[in-house]
Amino acid sequence: MSDYAILISGRGSNMQALVSAALPGRCVGVLSNRPEAAGLCWAAAQGIPVAVIDHKQFSERAAFDQALAEELERRGAQWVFLAGFMRVLGEAFVARFSGRLINIHPSLLPAFPGLHTHAAALAAGVRIHGCTVHFVTAAVDAGPIIVQAAVPVLPDDDAERLAARVLAQEHRIYPYAARALLEGRCRLVDGRVVWQDGQCSAQAALRVPGP
C-alpha cells in the first residue's frame, strides 16, 4: 500500500470523493494553504490528520513550497493528490515529487488551461466539455494525461450548470485514477502514462456524451 496526502484550498469535494472511495492506501493528511478551507473540517471529522501551511505567512513562493514539501515528507506521503489546490507549485517542488504529483482540472486538456474553464468553454462555443486527471509538471495544466471524462454542452447551459455536470464526472474519474496509481496499474515512464494492461478502461476513463 502507498501513503498519500491530499491538498485543498476550499470545500474539497474531490478530496471527499477520494476519501470516500476507500482507496488502497492510507491518507496521511489533508493539507491546505488556507486556514478557512471548509474541507479541513470534513477531513478532521473522518479522523484524518489535517494541517495548514498558510501561503500568506511566506514572503516568497519558494519558501512556501519548501515548507509544504517538508510537511508532506514528514508525514511520509508517497503520493500527493491536488484537489482544488489553488496554488501554482514551483519547479523545485514539482521535481521533488515528480511522477507522484497528481491534479484534476475542469476541462478536457489541453483545451482551457487555467481558471474560469466553464465560462471559457461556453464563450468558445464548444459542444463537448469535461475534466482531466493528469500528472503535474512545471508547465501549468500541461502534464501527461491519465484519464478524462466528457459531458455535452447543452443549449441552455450557463457556467454554473455546466460546472455541476463536470464536477459529477470529476468525482468519478479522480478516485478511478488514484486507485490505479496506488495499485501500480498506472505509472509515468519517460514522460508517458503507461497502464499495466496497455490501456485504461475506456468505459471507466471516458464518458462520451450522447446525441
C-alpha cell at 52: 495548514
Q: In terms of DSSP bridges, do strands 101-105 and 79-82 run parallel, antiparallel, or are they unpaired?
A: parallel
pLDDT digits (tens, 9 = 90+) for 87-104: 999 999 999 999 999 999
Per the CB < 8 A criterion, the answer to whether 93 and 69 are in contact is: yes
Taking 50 as the threshold, does the pLDDT of residue 181 lie above it?
yes
The helix or strand, by DSSP H or E, that contains position 7, with its residue range, turns out to be strand 2-8
* Domain extents in the chain: 2-106+131-146+174-196
Per-residue pLDDT tens digits for 109-143: 999 999 999 999 999 999 999 999 999 999 999 99
Identify any residues that bridge with 147 across adjacent strands, giving them in sequence order. Answer: 133
Residues 6+ apart with CB under 8 A from 109: 132, 134, 141, 142, 145, 148
Type of residue numbered 150 = A
Lowest-confidence segment of 60-64, 98-102, 195-199 by average pLDDT:
195-199
Catalytic one of 105, 118, 129, 171: 105
- Characterize 150-188 residue by residue with b for buried, 16 or more Cβ atoms within 10 angstroms of its Cβ, and e for exposed: bbbbeeebeeeebbebbbebbbbbbbbbbbbbbeeebbb
pLDDT above 90 for 186: yes
pLDDT band with cut points at 50, 70 and 90 for residue 205: low
CATH of domain 2-106+131-146+174-196: 3.40.50.170
Q: What are the pLDDT digits (tens) for 157-166?
A: 999 999 999 9
Active site (annotated) includes residue 129: no
pLDDT confidence of residue 210: 47
The mean of the pLDDT values for the chain is: 93
pTM more than 0.75: yes
pLDDT of 53 strictly over 70: yes
Take residue 188 and report the three cell numbers written for it.
509515468
